[in-house]
Amino acid sequence: MHRPLYGIDFHQDLQRGIAVGARGTVVTSDDGGRSWAADQLETPLSLIDVAVQGDRRLTVGQMGGIWVSDSGEPWRAVESGTEERLMSVDLNAAGLAIAVGSFDLILLSYDGGETWAESPLQLAPHVEGHYEPHLYDVQVNPDGSALIVGEFGLILRTVDQGRNWDIVHQGVASLSGVHVRTDGTGFAVGQDGAVLRTADGGQTWTRLATPTSGNLLGVWSTGDGQATVSGMRYMIVSDDDGDSWRPVADAEVNTNWYGKMAATDAGFIAVGHSGRVIRVAREQSR
């Protein structure tokens, strides 16, 4: 397989995972990402992100495409109400699903992705130049709170299942990825080597020093202080929740790009260029 992979997610068991990519590519793993097998989803469109929760799987992509599947059942398309590109999707066990995309698009579902409605939130009045910012990543938490990151350093936060949103951060560098743990500590990453950290569930953010000015795309961390950030021909890791960072010295990393990330029982996994799947173990070796 040589098609790029854009999105990845794993079940809570850290064994069953799914990755999606260009021209309808779907691959699955039952062994923590050690091996992968092709799945079937008939579409010529690129799939850009995927989310799993229990037996429910969601994937989103170009032209507003949204597909759902329950365990053992084939994928089926559902109506999104838009033709804008969808960049990210996430859902929780209560059935709250949020998808985000181009031109400040936020879609909400309260039935596990069966039906969707567009959020009335308009971001252009809050952005210099009144642009409609692209939104690149979303995280939905078990309690119905959620975080969204995007252009112009935007970080949005909701505590009421997406009914109301607060802008908790703005800046210059676009942000491409976010992951906040249940203990409230987490990171947002993006252009120009930007890594921001929160210690209060995403209410406040501080930019950290990093050894790169490259474009960073994905991030994941664990409660023992381990964090990995993927990007364009660059990957950095931390053992102390971002107080210090060091690059991963690996030719596979330094010559390719890796985007979205997830965690398995064996460490962090990132997907990217030409269908590549890379694992970064806790001891920071592939």
Rounded to an integer, the average pLDDT of 224-247 is 95
Residues 6+ apart with CB under 8 A from 54: 11, 93
Rounded to an integer, the average pLDDT of 8-29 is 95
- Is the model's pLDDT at 255 over the cut of 70? yes
- Is the model's pLDDT at 283 over the cut of 70? no
- 226 within a domain of the structure (yes/no): yes
- 60 within a domain of the structure (yes/no): yes
Quote the domain boundaries for residue 67.
5-280
CATH assignment of the domain containing 32: 2.130.10.10
Q: Structure pTM?
A: 0.96
The whole-number pLDDT of residue 282 equals: 62
List C-alpha distances in Å: 160 to 52, 98, 141: 21, 12, 11
The whole-number pLDDT of residue 179 equals: 98
Rounded to an integer, the average pLDDT of 17-26 is 96
The whole-number pLDDT of residue 285 equals: 37
* Residue 100 C-alpha from the chain's centroid: 10
Task: Name which of 76-90, 176-190, 254-268, 272-286 the model is least confident about.
Answer: 272-286
- 285 within a domain of the structure (yes/no): no
Residues 45-74 have pLDDT tens digits of 999 999 999 999 999 999 999 999 997 799
Place 280 in a pLDDT band, splitting at 50, 70 and 90: confident
Instruction: To the nearest 10°, report the CA torsion of 266, 267, 272, 276.
Output: -30
- 255 within a domain of the structure (yes/no): yes
List C-alpha distances in Å: 236 to 53, 178, 215: 28, 15, 12
The whole-number pLDDT of residue 200 equals: 98
- The structural domain count of the chain equals 1
- 286 within a domain of the structure (yes/no): no
Place 249 in a pLDDT band, splitting at 50, 70 and 90: confident
In the block, tokens 């690129």 appear at 46
Residues 110-128 have pLDDT tens digits of 999 999 999 999 999 999 8
**Whole-number average pLDDT of the chain:** 94
The whole-number pLDDT of residue 284 equals: 43
The whole-number pLDDT of residue 286 equals: 37
Residues 89-106 have pLDDT tens digits of 999 999 999 999 999 999
- 202 within a domain of the structure (yes/no): yes
Residues 6+ apart with CB under 8 A from 167: 123, 126, 154, 155, 156
